[in-house]
Chain A
Amino acid sequence: MAVQILRERSRGAVQKVVLGATREEGGTRSHTVTVGGDTALPFHHFEGEVSRPMLAMEVQDVVPDWPQALKNCFAGVLNDPGKWAKKCVDEYGADLIYLKLEGASPEGANKSIEQCVAVVKEVLEAVGVPLIVVGCEDLSKDQELLAAVAEAARGENLLLGNAEQDNYKSLVTACLAHNHSLIARSPLDINICKQLNILINEMNLSLNRIVIDPSIGGLGYGIEYAYSLMERVRLGALQGDKMLSLPVICTIGDEAWRAKEAYAAAIDYPCWGDELERGILWEALTAMTMLQAGAHILLMRHPQAVAKVREAIDQLMNDNSY
């Protein structure tokens, strides 16, 4: 007698979000990138649609305070965001550029709004892939900065961040006015994550323009909390909870390279092994874990970590349906 194979059937799907806009669509990107659309758990091709996760590489408007091993990959372009972005796309194959306007920070370089906007334009000129642009995490500076960026890049359908519970209205207004999408960021809390999506949606920004940043922990620093939270987000989406049915973006590079284990010198910790190899693996493993938990966009730094993860994605995207 034939065995009937039972498959989980989902009632819902993860919303598709399109990033970027081509000339015909009012922007200047060479192509758009679509994330989401899944109707199954991550890489369960045998149960539904699985979308390909996208790799974004980080670029900053100031020379970042990164470990030397990491900075070496971008030697000669670290003080030129346009060239840096171009290198990420042309040499390292980034699907998207993640531009962090760290230089705007009043605690740091305290660059003017005009200077920051000029950097966004420079990067838009330099590459054809869609852009993710975030501020410097200073509440009042970011409000003004992101509004100016949204206006200057009108029609480009940037993915702008971050909208947070206490500070989402101005960014939503800017996205509505100038046709961009946004990142809704919550502090590792699924209830706030869902409520923030509701609040943003109530301002009439449609769900297909919102991406969730659940705030992850890096490998060894609370990654399991992020894993279980993202698992619940995906299960909620598949059960038809529209306010959780949004693609997920993860700050991999930031969290991985913050860990001492990723950068501490081998001379100080001989039994930990070579720090370059260790850092790359730390970032790649953080990314791999988040992929399994349902990440759609990975924000990464080291080109070799990116290459390893891309290879893994290629394998995971092989159809395993039966």
Chain B
Amino acid sequence: MLIIGERINGMFTDIKEAIQQRNPAPIQEWARRQEKGGARALDLNVGPAVEDKVGAMTWLVEVTQEVSQLTLCLDSTDIQAIEAGLKVCRNPAIINSTNAEREKMEELFPLAVEYNAELIGLTMNKSGIPKDSDSRLAFAMELVAAADEYGLPLENLLIDPLILPANVAQDHVPEVLKTLQQIKLLSDPPPRTVLGLSNVSQNCHNRPLINRTFIAMAMACGLDAAIADACDEALIETVAAAEILLNQTVYCDSFVKMYKVR
């Protein structure tokens, strides 16, 4: 299970200010803390407020790479910002994201192939997030077909079936779990799966409990990666235990510690 640390995001005030002032300290501090917590990739999102998204993304990649070797997940709706980030990434990156809309896929799949990057594909189009599993799956199939068409290896495609907050879209949660199971049947080798985990508990009470319960359920349905709070110790412990219970890694007494340091 790959945890992609969510914290370097311009939606958070400290990161927003750091980007505005080009102050690397908070970025680098969060990079270190998330890695220590158990993240093995870091999401980088300049946030909606920044005007020069290209410059900000380039800077974020550069200052993060000064302190971390982790895979970077370039999170932007602006394709120029993503390409600028890819140009300065030392290691193959993850592009976050494309949806299943034709014009978006035509741009982002070739970009992923060109930079040997992994690509997150969202199971939605212009009209928004579908309500049921079947419609999500139809978009997932379009993403798989696009990978084949543009020559992106299927193991480099991460499909995100899109989870919504449990308090406003409770009926979506089982649909997402069902979708996770079925995505694995779409191809051989199957595509990988990812979720923006914390979204499930947006504006809910006791968010950590909801997050860690959901991640264990999603892992049992085939979740491979999550953009999540890597500094939530109970969450990471849950992931480590779930890996053992799913027989994905061989048990040893130090299983939590081993999850964090691997």
Chain B residues with Cβ under 8 A from A242's Cβ?
262
Measured CA separation A195–B253 after assembly (Å)? 6
Neighbouring A residues of B257 by C-beta, 8 Å: 198
Is A190's CB under 8 angstroms from B250's CB?
yes
CB-CB under 8 A for A198 and B250, given A242-B262, A243-B258: no
Which secondary structure characterizes the binding site on chain A? helix
Contacts of B249 in A (CB 8 A): 236, 239, 241
In the bound complex, CA of A249 to CA of B140 (Å): 46
Bound complex: CA A195 to CA B251 (Å): 9
Give the residues in chain B near A6, CB-CB below 8 Å: 189
A244 at the interface (CB under 8 A from B): yes
Residues of B in contact (CB 8 Å), total 10
Interface of B is mostly: loop
Residues in chain B near residue A321, CB distance under 8 A: none
Residue of A nearest to B251 (CB): A191
Q: Contact between B250 and A232 (Cβ–Cβ < 8 Å)?
A: yes
In the complex, B254 has a CB within 8 A of chain A = yes
Is B262 in contact with A240, judged by CB distance below 8 angstroms? yes
- Bound form: Cα–Cα A198–B254 in Å: 8
Q: Does B185 contact A (CB under 8 A)?
A: no
CB distance from B182 to the nearest CB of A (A): 22
Q: Does B49 contact A (CB under 8 A)?
A: no
* Cβ-defined contact, A195 with B254, below 8 A: yes
Q: Which residues of A190-242 have CB atoms within 8 Å of chain B's CB atoms?
A: 190-191, 194-195, 198, 232, 236, 239-242
Count residues of A near B (Cβ-Cβ below 8 Å).
Answer: 14
| B residues in contact with A198, CB < 8 Å | 252, 254, 257-258
> How far does the Cβ of B158 sit from chain A's closest Cβ, in whole Å?
16
Residue from B189, B250, B253, B258 with most neighbouring chain A CB atoms (10 Å): B250
The answer to whether B250 touches A191, judged by C-beta atoms less than 8 angstroms apart, is yes
Chain B CB within 10 A, most for which of A198, A239, A240: A198
Please name the residue on chain B nearest to A235 by beta carbon. B250
Cα A63 to Cα B70 in complex, Å, equals 57
B248 closest partner in A (C-beta): A239
Q: Which residue of B lies closest to A244 (CB)?
A: B250
A194, B262: Cβ atoms closer than 8 Å: no
What separation, in Å, do the CA atoms of A236 and B249 have in the docked complex? 7
Instruction: Give every chain A residue within 8 A of B262 (Cβ-Cβ).
Output: 240-242
- A236: chain B residues at CB < 8 Å are 249-250
Residue of A194, A239, A240 touching B252 (CB-CB under 8 A)? A194
Q: Quote the shortest CB–CB distance from A11 to chain B (angstroms).
A: 10
| CA distance in complex: A19, B249 (Å) | 29
**Chain B 207-256 interface residues, beta-carbon cutoff 8 Å to A:** 249-254
Hey, which chain B residues are within 8 Å of A239, CB to CB? Answer: 249
Which residues on the A side are within 8 Å of B189 (C-beta)? 6
14 A-B pairs whose Cβ atoms sit less than 8 Å apart in the complex:
A191-B250, A191-B251, A194-B250, A195-B252, A195-B254, A239-B249, A240-B262, A241-B249, A241-B250, A241-B262, A242-B262, A243-B252, A243-B258, A244-B250
Given contacts A191-B251, A241-B249, list 9 more A-B pairs with CB under 8 A: A6-B189, A190-B250, A191-B250, A195-B253, A232-B250, A236-B250, A240-B262, A241-B262, A242-B262
Chain B residues packing against A (C-beta within 8 Å): 189, 249-254, 257-258, 262
The 9 A-B pairs of least Cβ separation, nearest first, read: A194-B252, A195-B252, A191-B251, A195-B253, A236-B250, A198-B254, A191-B252, A194-B250, A190-B250
